[in-house]
Amino acid sequence: MKAHASQAHQPAGRKVTVFGAGSWGTALALLLASNGHAVTLWARRAQVAEHIRRTRHNPTYLPEVELPASIQVTAELREAAVAREVWIVATPAQAVRALAEQLRPWAHPALIIVSVAKGLEIATLKTTTQVLAEVLPIVPRERIGVLYGPSHAEEVAAGMPTTVVASAPSCAVAEEIQELFMAPTFRVYVNPDLIGVEIAGSVKNVLALAAGMSDGVGFGDNAKAALITRGLAEIQRLGVRLGADPSTFAGLAGIGDLVVTCMSRHSRNRYVGEQIGRGRTLEEVQQEMQMVAEGVPTTAAVYRLARELGVEMPITEAVYQILFEGKKPREAVRELMAREAKYEDWLPRSTDTAPPNGVAASETTSSR
Ligand SMILES: NC(=O)C1=CN([C@@H]2O[C@H](COP(=O)(O)OP(=O)(O)OC[C@H]3O[C@@H](n4cnc5c(N)ncnc54)[C@H](OP(=O)(O)O)[C@@H]3O)[C@@H](O)[C@H]2O)C=CC1
Ligand SMILES: O=C(CO)COP(=O)(O)O
């Protein structure tokens, strides 16, 4: 992989719009503006846009962060979308299709689209770049990528050191995305494995729900380490089945984002899981939350996808049963612990390495 721009390099200012004025959209607008780009931030509610214009603070998401006057803020899609070089899509994953459909009149072949939304669309089981490519065919597929990795908005907005991954079907486009965002406290690597990066970044939210449930029930560090490690194994199995490079899961989009989301006090997914672990219902927790927990819809999507593809994802299955079928977290853990004895394989073991007596033969099947 080609090494790229040094941190001292200042990219030429580009015309960029960030769609979605939630926590992540707000933090990225700030970062891009401080990189010298001409930034527009689109909020879906007119009163939010008006409030930010007047006070330079987002009323709901990262309210303590001051947004410079150079950032244009609007709720008008046309004003936000027309004649831009780069669109950043920072809405929840389930909203990407509807947004893209509305944006269609202003899409053009020279546009770069960067999705930062992490999740799979429930209705189609597609990643967000697959949805964007389907709805906006005028934009060449190689110009639609992502920026993923361990990056809580609160820390990025506070200028704390953060490292992420830019990915797109074309390395040249991924490098353009890298250059757009690279900053002294925000280091961007390129990883050309788009499907791997998208699966890793989307499915880790399911495991963060599981990690939160473990915290809420009162389990300790051993259980958390097990969820992260075995969770990564099942994310990798799904990703590889979809054509991903296995090594992506050892990188920032994989283990990096999984660790931060399972451990961080900022994680909304971990929080939702923790509340459920304490005995509350999903409905109760979601009703009081303003922010999105992408792991909830993505659990439903991954559960179905894994079944369709015959990929074994026992932790995801347990999270699904807890969220949508009323299973108690302790019961789910009891069942996970009582599964048949296994080898610690990550990917299918070659059939010439026979397991010793007493260890499940299913270890050697291709379903893993
Ligand atoms: N927060 C973070 O640290 C990070 C988040 N992400 C990802 O970024 C995406 C956005 O998350 P984040 O900014 O944190 O979310 P927030 O919960 O902070 O904000 C959600 C934003 O999306 C808007 N929104 C909600 N529904 C729709 C819709 N149907 N159409 C258009 N806009 C909508 C909300 O508008 P309104 O206020 O009007 O409801 C709000 O501006 C998610 O996929 C998340 O996983 C990725 C990396 C880091
Ligand atoms: O993706 C994230 C950090 O990289 C944000 O995770 P949460 O949505 O759980 O807060």
Question: pLDDT by residue (tens digit) across 124-145?
Answer: 999 999 999 999 999 999 999 9
User: Is 152 a pocket residue for ligand 2 (Cβ < 6 Å)?
Assistant: yes
Q: Positive or negative CA dihedral for 180, 163, 90, 125?
A: positive
Topology (CATH) of 196-337: N-(1-d-carboxylethyl)-l-norvaline Dehydrogenase; domain 2 (1.10.1040)
**For the purposes of burial, counting CB atoms within 10 Å of the CB of 139, is it exposed (0-12), middle (13-18) or buried (19 or more)?**
buried
Q: How many CB atoms neighbour CB 47 within 10 A?
A: 10
pLDDT at residue number 253: 98
First to last CA, the chain: 29
pLDDT at residue number 326: 96
Assembly ipTM: 0.99
Question: Distances in Å between the alpha carbon of 32 and those of 13, 88, 191, 233?
Answer: 9, 11, 21, 34
Looking at residue 172, its amino acid is A
pLDDT at residue number 129: 98
pLDDT at residue number 356: 46
Which residue has its alpha carbon closest to ligand 2 atom 8?
Answer: 268
Topology (CATH) of 15-192: Rossmann fold (3.40.50)
Say how far apart CA 93 and CA 342 lie, in whole Å: 35
The ranges of the chain annotated as CATH 3.40.50.720 are 15-192
HSE, CB side, 13 Å, CA atoms: give it for residue 336. 24
Return the C-alpha torsion angle 163, 121, 271, 315, nearest 10: -90
User: Is 295 a pocket residue for ligand 1 (Cβ < 6 Å)?
Assistant: no
- Compute φ and ψ for 174, nearest 5 degrees: -60, -35
Question: Which residues are annotated as part of the binding site for substrate?
Answer: 118, 268-269
Tokens at 140, concatenated: 């060449």
The ranges of the chain annotated as CATH 1.10.1040.10 are 196-337
**For the purposes of burial, counting CB atoms within 10 Å of the CB of 199, is it exposed (0-12), middle (13-18) or buried (19 or more)?**
buried
**Ligand 1 centroid – CA 274 distance (Å):** 21
User: Is 44 a pocket residue for ligand 1 (Cβ < 6 Å)?
Assistant: yes
Q: Which residues of the chain have pLDDT under 70?
A: 1-12, 346-368
* Residues with active-site annotation: 204
Which residue has its alpha carbon closest to ligand 1 atom 29?
Answer: 95
Question: Which residues are annotated as part of the binding site for NADPH?
Answer: 23-24, 44-45, 61, 118, 153, 268, 292, 294
HSE, CB side, 13 Å, CA atoms: give it for residue 103. 33
Q: Rounded to two decimals, what is the model's pTM?
A: 0.93
**Ligand 2 centroid – CA 263 distance (Å):** 11
Say how far apart CA 83 and CA 88 lie, in whole Å: 14
